[in-house]
Structure 1
Amino acid sequence: MIRWFIVVFLALLLISWFTPLLNRLGFGRLPGDLRFRLFGREWFIPLTTTILLSLAASLISRLL
């Protein structure tokens, strides 16, 4: 169980580090990525970006 917590923590850490780079490359502004304002906060749900990054990770893992 502790391993999953470590993996999730490291994944979130990497995502937070690479978010500015991915935004410059155009990820986060793809059709299907939702960005809206609700209750005075801006919410972002990157559906298409998540699918594309998941496919890329899957292809990389199959190659290795």
Structure 2
Amino acid sequence: LGLQGRVRNLFDGRVEVEAEGEREKLDRLIERLHKGPPGAQVADVATEWSQPRGECEDFRVDYD
């Protein structure tokens, strides 16, 4: 999608995504998050908007 940010699994089973980019691309990401990958059940997608911080140059998976 041409976004910058990160994704990580939380200990309670939720997934946290932080993303920056054009609004249209962010909206497409949110649509995909609502669907989830094959075999997944998405119960809820909570969205918080903020000013871009420019901390990421690419999109990565963080493994804690």
Shorter chain as denominator, the TM-score bin is under 0.3
Larger RCO (CA within 8 A; separation ≥ 6): 2
Taking structure 1 as the reference length, what is the TM-score of the superposition? 0.26
Structure with larger Rg:
1
More strand by percentage: 2
Taking structure 2 as the reference length, what is the TM-score of the superposition? 0.26
